[in-house]
Structure 1
Amino acid sequence: MSVSSCCISGFTWQGTPTGRTDKLANNDVYIAGDNPDVAILFVADLFGWTFPNVRLLADHFAREVGATVYVPDFFGGEILSPELLAADKFDQLDLPNFLSRNGREPREPEIFESARALRQQLGYKKVGAVGYCYGGWASFRLGAKEHEAAPLVDCISIGHPSLLTKKDIDEIAVPAQILAPEIDPVYNAELKLHTFQTLQKVNVPFAYQHFPGVAHSCFIRGDENKPGERAAMVKGKNAAVAWLRQYLKDQ
Structure 2
Amino acid sequence: MSCSDCFSGHIHPDTPTGKSDTIHGVPTYIASPGEGVEPKGLVVIVSDAFGWDFVNTRLLADWYAAKGGFLVYLPDFMRGHALKPASMEATKKIKAPANWFTTIVYKPIWLVQSMITLLPWVLHTCAGVTTPIITTFLTAIRTSAPPFATDNLKIGVAGFCWGGRHAFLLSANDPKTHVVRYGSHPSAAKQPLIECAFTAHPSMLKLPSEVENAQLPISMCVGDVDMMLTREQILKIKDMLEVKNKKKGDHEVVIIPGAKHGFAVRMDPEDAFMVECSVKAEEQAIKWFTKWLA
TM-score scaled by length of structure 1: 0.92
C-alpha contact 1:37 1:123 (8 A) present in aligned 2: no
Equivalent residues, number: 248
What is the distance in 1 between the residues matched to 2:251 and 2:72? 22
Does residue 1:113 correspond to 2:136, yes or no? yes
In the TM superposition, residue 37 of structure 1 has moved relative to its aligned partner by 6.4
Does residue 1:168 correspond to 2:210, yes or no? yes
Amino acid corresponding to residue 116 of structure 1 in structure 2: T
What is the distance in 1 between the residues matched to 2:21 and 2:239? 40
In the TM superposition, residue 25 of structure 1 has moved relative to its aligned partner by 2.6
* Range with greater deviation from structure 2 (96-105 or 189-198): 189-198
Matched with 2:278 is 233
C-alpha contact 1:10 1:85 (8 A) present in aligned 2: yes
Q: Which has the larger radius of gyration?
A: 2
Amino acid corresponding to residue 78 of structure 1 in structure 2: H
Pairing partner for 1:191 from 233, 240, 252:
233
The share of aligned pairs that are identical, in percent, is: 30
Pairing partner for 2:167 from 99, 115, 139:
139
In the TM superposition, residue 54 of structure 1 has moved relative to its aligned partner by 0.3
Amino acid corresponding to residue 59 of structure 1 in structure 2: D
Does residue 1:46 correspond to 2:49, yes or no? yes
Pairing partner for 1:123 from 132, 135, 150:
150
What is the distance in 2 between the residues matched to 1:112 and 1:89? 37
Q: Which runs of 4+ in 1 moved over 2 A?
A: 34-37, 86-94, 147-150, 187-191
CA spacing shift, 1:82–1:208, aligned 2, 3 Å: same
What is the distance in 2 between the residues matched to 1:40 and 1:185? 27
CA spacing shift, 1:111–1:190, aligned 2, 3 Å: farther
C-alpha contact 1:24 1:117 (8 A) present in aligned 2: no
C-alpha contact 1:143 1:152 (8 A) present in aligned 2: no
Over the residues paired in the alignment, what is the CA RMSD in angstroms? 1.8
Matched with 1:219 is 264
Alignment of structure 1 residues 151-166 onto 2, 5 Å? 151-165=192-206, 166=208
Per-residue CA shift, 1:209-245, capped at 9, x if unaligned? 1111121001100112112101101111111111111
Does residue 1:181 correspond to 2:223, yes or no? yes
Unaligned ranges ≥5, structure 2: 95-110, 179-189
CA spacing shift, 1:58–1:173, aligned 2, 3 Å: same
Amino acid corresponding to residue 18 of structure 2 in structure 1: G
SS at match of 1:58: helix
In the TM superposition, residue 120 of structure 1 has moved relative to its aligned partner by 1.5
* Range with greater deviation from structure 2 (25-34 or 124-133): 25-34
What is the distance in 1 between the residues matched to 2:73 and 2:28? 6
